[in-house]
Amino acid sequence: MEQEKLERRVREIFEQQGFEVEQDGNEIVATKGDDRKKIQVFSSDDYTGEELVDRVDADLVFVDEDLPEITDELESEVSIIRDERDKEDYDLPSYELIGDIAVINDLAGRDQEEAVEGILEHHPYVETVLLKDEPLSGEFRVGGYEKLYGEEIETIHKEYGCRYRVDPTKAYFSERLATERKRVVDQIEEDERVLVIGAGVGPYPVLAARKADPEKVVAVEKNPDAYRYLKENIELNNVEDIVKAVKGDALEEVSENEKFDRVIIAIPEFADEFLELAFDNARKESVIHYYRFLEDEQWEEIIEEIEETGESYEVLDKVVCGQRGPGVDRVCIDIEAK
Ligand SMILES: C[S@@+](CC[C@H](N)C(=O)[O-])C[C@H]1O[C@@H](n2cnc3c(N)ncnc32)[C@H](O)[C@@H]1O
């Protein structure tokens, strides 16, 4: 298929789902709320499979059916656009792709079968389709899911060259936060000591260990299933020498005597409970990434929470890194301890 036609088909897929789409050459950035996907498109008219291996630097890759099977060699998920069948238009709901599992967040009145068919049509590598039928809840932030297609609910998700084994029905994982995780990891300086509170299956610690050069990363996780995946993912990504996984409640497991240059409180729902702990384990000039959900841009409420600790600090940055729902943003305040 011609490159231009392939790019148009890919833009249409994301526009149909309500994404804002920008294109620069064969790179497309699709944005909807907190979901930002960097996409590359390669036509067999212009590229060979071998050429792709060095060129791929994206969350998702789309190729046409004449490119050879290269999925396993690339660090991103690869979708194939087929000339014939893709002529049919599907009204797709909002969904996330976690490895070869598609998670539909909300059918929003759409036909279930058509939604599944459309997702499989666009992403032939998808093995399982789940429908989130209960919102994320509890301290482990896990939702309820109905299986609409397939059997396997454990998968390996690839992100920035790292691999994460996860069962999204047992442990929190969102591909939508990839760009935010990268923003934080890009700030890590050589030989830093990093603490991650609420490490989940490991996307912050593993990315930090693989893409930055920290001396040590301590990753604390309370959900036993998430902890099991965290341990596995540390091994899967060969970062055992750098990342130490700690099982249990961060409030009990983190020693006050251990100081860190950077603390990531990755639990927006309850982050205020860990703020004292973060300051106790920070040195002067350490950075704390404080995630919160923010209603109607009431930043003063978050600043008040920080003020209440009585600690000296300076706000380095305020970042909106996603949306939990209408009027509710996921934000991060980067704070320097003074
Ligand atoms: C929103 S998830 C973020 C997970 C991960 N950082 C990510 O980006 O995918 C928050 C995580 O914090 C964990 N958690 C909740 N309370 C905790 C506590 N007291 N100590 C350690 N981990 C906790 C949850 O089980 C969950 O995996």
Residues facing residue 104 across a β-bridge = 95, 131
Q: What is the pLDDT of residues 227-281, one digit of tens each?
A: 999 999 999 999 999 999 999 999 999 988 899 999 999 999 999 999 999 999 9
Q: Indicate whether 82 pLDDT > 60.
A: yes
- Structure confidence at residue 85 (pLDDT): 52
Which segment of 110-114, 171-175, 332-336 scores lowest on mean pLDDT? Answer: 110-114
Provide, rounded to the nearest whole percent, the portion of the chain with pLDDT above 90.
67
pLDDT on residue 88: 61
- Atom 16, ligand 1: which residue's CA is nearest? 139
Examine the pLDDT at 68 and tell me if it is beyond 70.
no
Backbone angles phi, psi at 330, to 5 degrees: -90, 120
pLDDT, tens digit (0-9, with 9 covering 90-100), for 1-54: 888 888 988 898 888 777 899 988 888 999 887 778 889 998 888 888 777 777
For residue 70, what pLDDT is reported?
Answer: 64
Residue 123's pLDDT is 84
270 alpha carbon – ligand 1 mean position (Å): 10
Whether 172 lines ligand 1, by a CB cut-off of 6 Å, is: yes
- Burial of 239-257, coded b for 16+ CB within 10 Å and e otherwise, reads beebbebbbeebeeebeee
Distance (Å, rounded) from C-alpha 266 to C-alpha 141? 11
CA of 232 to the centre of ligand 1 (A): 16
Domains of the chain: 3-149 (3.30.300.110), 174-337 (3.40.50.150)
What was the pLDDT predicted at 71?
61
Q: What global pTM score does this model have? A: 0.81
> How large a percentage of the chain has pLDDT more than 70?
96
